Structure 1
Amino acid sequence: MLISSIMYSYVVRKVDRFQQYYIKQEYELQLFTTQVKCNARSFTLEQVLDISYKPFSSEKGLLYLHTHQGVFKYEIQADPSTFISEYKRLKTT
């Protein structure tokens, strides 16, 4: 069951012959009762140690997912407080 979600951006660099360009893609980070999923990975709640957030401008920031496999960062443009508080609520129950 989906508890919360937040959109994040991912920039891919493409090289085509002698030209380089960047493609910005939007994905959704989803918090379920048993796992956290993004476009390329999923983590069980047991694998997620913490979630933190660091704003770097008035509109953007980085959401850090601290896991047993390392720290994964997601560039977000919305307030993640609901997402983080729902995660912490799930971890304490």
Structure 2
Amino acid sequence: MKDWYIGGFIMGLLAVQPYVKVLREIENMDITCKEEERKIHLYHDRLVTKYHEFLAQDISDISFKQMGDAGGLLYIHTNRGIFSYTVHSSPDSFIKAFRMHIKKDYF
């Protein structure tokens, strides 16, 4: 895990949430699905996924919709729209870290 250096200050990692990206491939009229494991990194000033980076001030909330026994969808509510991520484990501690350290004035 890495830290962000901004203006000489270390913006340390607050929390990490694993998620999966389902990759679908069509080959010879057969559809195969593969899951690629990825991680969401929450820092004091931003949230970073494999292909997206959101500044903390652009995130209004993070929510979770459980589907099945273990996992569900994690939603990142931003000023650019809502981004969803499939998770196999509870993101409660990740959401709590966000609300305690990033959006503490709102919750």
Range class of TM-score, shorter chain: over 0.9
- Matched residues, percent identical? 26
Q: Which runs of 4+ in 1 moved over 2 A?
A: 16-20
Counterpart CA distance in 2 for 1:58 and 1:77 is 9
Aligned length: 93
Counterpart CA distance in 2 for 1:36 and 1:62 is 17
The aligned residue for residue 69 of structure 1 is 80
- Matching of residue 31 in structure 1 with residue 42 in structure 2: yes
The aligned residue for residue 6 of structure 2 is none
The aligned residue for residue 17 of structure 2 is 6
The aligned residue for residue 53 of structure 1 is 64
RMSD (Å), alpha carbons? 1.2
- Give TM-score, length-normalised by structure 1: 0.92
Counterpart CA distance in 2 for 1:53 and 1:87 is 13
Deviation of the 1:54 alpha carbon: 0.8
Counterpart CA distance in 1 for 2:26 and 2:88 is 27
Which stretches in structure 2 are left out of the alignment for 5+ residues?
A: 1-11
Deviation of the 1:92 alpha carbon: 2.0
2:51 to 40, 65, 75: 40
Counterpart CA distance in 2 for 1:12 and 1:79 is 22
Q: What letter corresponds to residue 84 of structure 1 in structure 2?
A: I
The answer to which structure, 1 or 2, has the higher relative contact order (CA under 8 A, 6+ apart) is: 1
Which stretches in structure 1 are left out of the alignment for 5+ residues?
A: none
